[in-house]
Amino acid sequence: MKKRWIHLMVVLAALAFVAACVCQPQVVKPTEAAKPVPPAEKKVQEEVVAAPKPAEVKEAEVKEDVMKEEVSPLEDIHFAFDDYSLTDTAKTILEKNAAWMRNNPNTKVRIEGNCDERGTNEYNMTLGERRANSGKKYLSKLGVKEEQLATVSYGEEKPFDPGHNEEAWAKNRRDHFAIAK
């Protein structure tokens, strides 16, 4: 019995010693020039390298450029910074737009929500979405049928004015009403 306990104590003591060593990594400090040591060069490992390559991109067919903006019979509305509520000016414009849409019930309209470039791309997509929905809700209230209206957010991705100043930013915070094809 005693022997067994001694064995156990030795194991535990040794483990404790090892644990102590693990906790103190030795940092190299420059010492005087070392004496040459027989090389253990046989320890050079070998590896075969073969790089997997990402697939080649096939060119997309030339198609109509979605980025071009066509002249719309409907007027844009604009928003205050970080806001998606409708100003009185916006409401007046929406009333005019609604009238046109009620007169052209078979023409689908896409409400495109946009932001200025400040803020992050991802958060701005959600803000653009709110702006588009804001416009859609009001138009619905004015009697435009739901089926006629689609919404999409472009966030800050399609600025009307590429400038980097207050003037450009104000123009970019908008809902644009595109005739959907």
Partner 1 sequence: MKPKRCMHKRLLNIVFLTGIAFILFARAEIAGAKIYIDIYSPSTRKLPIAIAPFKNLGSTPDKENIASQINGIITQDLELSGLFQVIDPKSFIENPRAAGITSDKINWSDWSTVGAEALVKGGFSLDAKSLTMEGRLYDVVQGKFIAGKRYFGKVDDLRLMVHKLVNEIIYQLTGEKSIFETRIAFVSTASGTKEIYLMDVDGESRQRITSHRSICLSPAWSPDGRKLVFTSYKKGNPDLYFKDIFYGNEKVISQERGLNISPAFSPDGKKIALTLSVEDGNSELFLIDLNGNKLERLTTNWGSDVSPTFSPDGAKIAFVSDRAGSPQVYALTIEDKSVKRLTFEGNYNATPEWSPRGDKIAFSRMTGNKFDIYTMDPDGTNIQRLTTLGSNEDPSWSPNGRYLIFGSNREGSKKLYIMLANGSNQRRIASGKGEDTNPVWSP
Contact residues toward partner 1 (CB under 8 A) are 4, 7-8, 10-11, 14-15, 17-18, 21-22, 25-28, 30-31, 33-41, 43-60, 63, 65-67, 82, 118-123, 125-127, 129-130, 133, 151-154, 157-158
Question: Min. distance of Cβ 141 from partner 1 in angstroms?
Answer: 15
State CA 9 to chain mean position distance. 59
Question: Closer CB to partner 1, residue 106 or residue 120?
Answer: 120
User: Which CA distances in Å does 61 have to 41, 58, 65, 161, 180?
Assistant: 57, 9, 11, 29, 22
Both tokens assigned to 109: 């309209």
Question: Min. distance of Cβ 89 from partner 1 in angstroms?
Answer: 24
Question: Min. distance of Cβ 103 from partner 1 in angstroms?
Answer: 26
Tokens 């739901």, residue located: 146
Question: Closer CB to partner 1, residue 59 or residue 88?
Answer: 59
Question: Closer CB to partner 1, residue 82 or residue 95?
Answer: 82
Question: Min. distance of Cβ 108 from partner 1 in angstroms?
Answer: 12
Identify the helix (H) or strand (E) that includes residue 130.
Answer: helix 121-141
Question: Closer CB to partner 1, residue 25 or residue 88?
Answer: 25
Question: Residue 125 and residue 154: Cα distance in Å, rounded?
Answer: 6
Both tokens assigned to 94: 């929406």
Question: Min. distance of Cβ 151 from partner 1 in angstroms?
Answer: 7
Question: Closer CB to partner 1, residue 15 or residue 99?
Answer: 15
Question: Residue 133 and residue 88: Cα distance in Å, rounded?
Answer: 17
- Using alpha carbons only, how large is the chain's radius of gyration in Å? 34
**Is 125:117 a contact under the CB 8 Å cutoff?**
no
